[in-house]
Chain A
Amino acid sequence: MSAMATVGDSVVSVVDLHKSYGSVRAVDGVSFEVTQGEVFGLLGPNGAGKTTTIEMLEGLLRPDSGSANVLGIDVTRHPEALKERIGVQLQTAALYPNLTVVELIDLFGSFYAKRRSSKELIRELGLEEREVALSRELSGGQRQRLSIALALVNDPELIFLDEPTTGLDPQGRRSLWDQIGELRKQGRTILLTTHYMEEAERLCDRVAIMDHGQILEMGTVNELVTRHFKERTVRFETRPELTDERLSGLSGVQRVAHESDETVLYTSQVPQTVGALLKLGDELGLEGLDLAVRRPTLEDVFIELTGRALRD
């Protein structure tokens, strides 16, 4: 493997990967490629097999069958060589609670042949003010940034991020997205898992939608959405008077769906549908009908594929 990898080279290559726990097939025949410089997302609900997949690629779990090459290294044969060159952020991993931020970065740095200075990493991740705080005193967002700093300590070519923003408030999530965007600009390859579709839409060049240990669909966000939906959606708070029967008769409507307390109309002709809907509202004497027109999202693709919402 040359250090001079160029954009488009395959960095991760997975073929027909399997892993079972007893009778549960956690990963059931997964294949995909990640190329140099791209951000690739595994998107799916909890229990879909994302973490098991990523941990096999990190050399933490042994696949039952199939092959996985990461940076040109067979992960089952030379996990130690692999670990020198990748950066890892685990979903559940806590850190030594009684060590400070700078102590932890220095400690993890000592495990690698190649290492970056702790000062630089602390500045890069905006942890200057918390440098000498014990890790147990950090906020959720700070802890997550520290755990990304630890993933960068060996200046890795490839970074694995497992649910990087889970448990963060919206502000913390946005700041971490910026951080990941920076990494991408530096030309690093990133493989992340998430069950937030906004995250996948915002960060990922390509996504693979996973459920029950299998990849259902793969491509750019645009490709996935247009592959499944020619229509746009018109959404509003469900009213008992607006029955499915009445709605499906409106101009342009192809399908009526319900998501929690919202009614969703799929239409290929947004203006006509909205006009007809407002007119129907007037006739029924409904007030304050709040409409939103949206392009279908990954969430819709997921529901289309699995029949249930991502966060179920």
Chain B
Amino acid sequence: MRRLTAGLWPLTVANVKSFYRDRASLFWTFAFPIIFVVLFGSIFSGGGTGFTLGWVDQDRSPASQQLRGAFADVSILVLTDADQAAALEQMREGTLDAVVVVPAGLGEAMTPGRGGPPFQLTLYTDPSRQTASTTVAQIVSQLVGGVNLALAGVPPALGVTTQTLQTQSISSAAYFVPSILAMALMQLGVFAAIPLVAQREKGILKRLNATPLSRATLVASNVVMRLLIAILQTVIIVGIGVVAFGVTVVGSLVVVAGFIVLGAVTFLALGYVIASYARTEESANALTSVVQFPLMFLSGIFFPIDFMPEWLQPVASIMPLTYLGDALRQTMVGGAAYAPLPIDALVLGGWLAVSFLLSARFFRWQ
């Protein structure tokens, strides 16, 4: 027993010290995911709740006031009054999703029994923002249709009440916070290859091998250190999610922690596989980049797998990060499942087993 524990804690402390004195690893481990959280948070919380509509009233009649009231009653529309030039400028700047112009003469045109061509409202939309432009166009034509029917004195026979349904109250922040945590855990593990190869290349591993320190202790201290960092990353990333973006953690903390540990260890084993094939620090750097980008972008952590081209979907369905992201989303914020939790655990465990065997077979100490 002494053989395994001797040096374990001092070596772990030494690894942690080496780690926090290295700015590059600090950046990738903490700053990078934080930047991601803040960036994603700002992008999504801006557009998530509704659409901003510029309201240009050139008529200024009781009828136009009434029409404005009808638009204002639509809960997902936020109206901003402006003159035409200012409204269009704001739309170009991106603060407005669409602009409605009510030309002078509306009040007159709405007099009951008046014939002739229909009075025209003008709707400006931006086709490059597809969701916003189609939704606003639909709302506007629905409203206009309703006004027409009311003027004709025909009561509507059919109406629709819209209700939203979500498994939990899952905001977009709640979707990406577990994803970014999964990404951070992946990078933490995969990037472990770089110091490992550097230590081998410089002869540090060989020097340790000349002491009674066992290799099992050496690996164990690496695992312990990475898990400590994983805990810290989790606290920071989830903390920002909770404080800044109103994410609530709903799942069992034990299950969440279990997946964080499983994920961290799986990707650390993958890091050891990389370290088995890379001979120099430079090649370890290159290889981790080559590995981490497909891991990240071919997995379902940043957008649902259904959005991927069909030929890529099978690739995503074997990526370990898909399942870590899925498991964390389910257990942390109650997100919809891509796979049941036992399958998530099984796929991650499979990757862990294969990586462990490969690195046990091919890892070189000197």
Contact = CB atoms under 8 A, between A and B. Distances in A.
Interface of A: 58-60, 80, 83-84, 88, 90, 92-99, 103, 106-108, 110-113, 134, 150
A82 to B, nearest CB: 9
A99 B18 contact: yes
Contacts of B9: 110
A60 B22 contact: no
Contacts of A83: 210-212
Nearest to A83: B212
B207 interface: yes
B206 A90 contact: yes
B360 interface: no
Contact of A112 (B21, B211, B214): B211
A111 B211 contact: yes
A110 B204 contact: no
Contacts of B364: none
B21 to A, nearest CB: 4
A150 B17 CA distance: 19
A91 to B, nearest CB: 8
Contact of A96 (B204, B210, B211): B204
A95 B204 contact: yes
A96 B18 contact: yes
Contacts of B17: 98-99, 103
Given A103-B14, A111-B213, A112-B211, A93 B7 contact: no
A110 B7 contact: yes
A56 to B, nearest CB: 12
B209 interface: yes
B10 interface: yes
A84 B212 contact: yes
Contacts of A96: 14, 18, 199, 204
A92 B22 contact: no
Nearest to A108: B211
B26 to A, nearest CB: 12
Interface of B: 2-3, 6-7, 9-11, 14, 17-18, 21-22, 199, 202-204, 206-214, 366
Contacts of B206: 60, 90, 92-93
Given A99-B17, A103-B14, A134-B21, A111 B3 contact: no
Nearest to B15: A96
Contacts of A103: 14, 17
Given A98-B18, A134-B21, A111 B207 contact: no
A99 B210 contact: no
Contact of B212 (A106, A112, A150): A112
Given A98-B17, A110-B6, A88 B204 contact: no
B21 A98 contact: yes
Nearest to A84: B212
Contacts of A60: 206, 209-210, 366
Q: Most chain-B Cβ atoms within 10 A of its Cβ — which of A59, A88, A108, A112?
A: A108
Contacts of A95: 204, 207
A107 B208 CA distance: 10
A110 B18 contact: no
A97 B18 CA distance: 8
A113 B210 CA distance: 15
B210 A90 contact: yes
Contacts of A59: 210
A84 B9 CA distance: 19
B204 A93 contact: yes
B15 to A, nearest CB: 9
Contact of A107 (B3, B14, B209, B366): B14
A106 B21 contact: no
A93 B202 contact: yes
B10 A106 contact: yes
Q: Most chain-A Cβ atoms within 10 A of its Cβ — which of B2, B199, B208, B209?
A: B209
B366 to A, nearest CB: 8
